[in-house]
Amino acid sequence: MKKNNLILGIVIVVLVTIASIWYGRNNGLLPVAAGDEALLYDDLFNTILAIAFGFFLIIEGVLIYSIVKFRRRKGDETDGATIHENLTLEIVWTAIPTVIVMWVAIYSFDVYTAMQGSQGTEGMAHGGMSHAVAHHDRGGMPTSKATLASTNTDGVLMAGTLANGGDDVVAIDVSAMQFAWIFNYPNEVATAELHVPVGKKVRLNMTAVDVLHAFWVPQLRIKQDVIPGRETFLEFTPRVVGEYPVVCAELCGSYHGGMRTTMVIDTPDDYQVWLKDQQEIAANDPEAIVATGNVADMTDQEFLSGKASQLGVDHLHMQHK
């Protein structure tokens, strides 16, 4: 009998382990990992999920087993056995989670550091900000015009005014504003859509024109605050060609939810072609912000009309302040 229990125990442990590892690898909960750094994050996430899934199976298994096995039988009015303290058990159920939590903390911090950690916010509000020249006279939507007008002299940054991370790095200056992203490439190219080449390290030097915003691409597993009067940066290496959403992840005003654009990871050839096209457009019209149309130039009506049908709204009643 004892021997059978031991064998049963071993079988259960083996099955739970296999199930946990399988679920950790096949949970499908994360979107595609579009950057090299995303893989580190995914390993961490999947490992923690595997451990959690193992505990889930064990705890729910014991729970269901106990409900069935120790249920009150008909006519049984006796009390349960009085069990007072089990030191061994308490040490075990304290020690195991402690070890796991410590290990997860160290592993997480390792991944956090490898993915840039807190470095990205260590940029200083240096001279680059003050000699950044606003060459685009961009109005915002009516509600934000006042804010933008007062900040426009420090507004859209010219490419190259912020730090770049070396020759092998594609450095792009990013301006965030209510409610759009402007990406500044060399040669006066400013776009509303982000294009990056696959396989090359990208550095986004970011600042905000008006209020706090946050640059987030779920497929890169990275997010960084974009702060007025101060530079922050993000570095990543695109690995899967495709189109991904750029989301503002900091509540920044009435249309925060609409502050989205697209990041396109191009093949190196496509990227060069795209960049050349943009440079031609910029040469012909220095004011052009192309690629997806300029959100900042739209009125409330124009901006929201595209969203209205998705929301099931027929008429938009706007308050103009």
Residues that bind Cu ion (CB under 5 A): 213, 248, 252, 259
Rounded CA separation 48/38 (Å)? 15
Q: How far is CA 89 from CA 61, 92, 95, 129, in A?
A: 18, 5, 10, 60
Least spacing, CB of residue 67 vs Cu ion, in Å = 50
Concatenated DSSP letters of 260-294: EEEEEEE-HHHHHHHHHHHHHHHHH-TT-EESS--
Q: What is the DSSP string of 79-136?
A: PPP-----HHHHHHHHHHHHHHHHHHHHHHHHHHHHTTTTGGG-----HHHHH-----
d(CA 288, CA 276): 14
CB nearer to Cu ion: give 202 or 252.
252
Closer residue to Cu ion in complex, CB, 33/252: 252
Measure CA 3 to chain center: 51
Please give the single-letter amino acid code of residue 143: T
Residue 165 in tokens: 């991370």
Q: How far is the CB of 259 from Cu ion (least distance, A)?
A: 4
Compute the least distance from the CB of residue 192 to Cu ion, in Å: 14
Q: Which is nearer to Cu ion, 120 or 197 (CB)?
A: 120
CB of 227 or CB of 248, closer to Cu ion: 248
CB of 252 to Cu ion, least distance (A): 3
282 or 298, CB closer to Cu ion? 298
Q: How many Å apart are CA 200 and CA 164, to the nearest integer?
A: 14
User: What is the DSSP secondary-structure string of 169-185?
Assistant: SEEEEEEEETTEEEEEE
Nearer to Cu ion, 61 or 306 (CB): 306
Instruction: Provide the minimum distance between the beta carbon of 163 and Cu ion in the complex, in angstroms, as a whole number.
Output: 23
Task: Write down the least CB distance from residue 144 to Cu ion, Å.
Answer: 11
How far apart are CB 222 and Cu ion at their closest, in Å?
16
Other beta carbons less than 10 A from residue 8's beta carbon = 10
Instruction: Closer to Cu ion by CB, 159 or 226: give it.
Output: 226
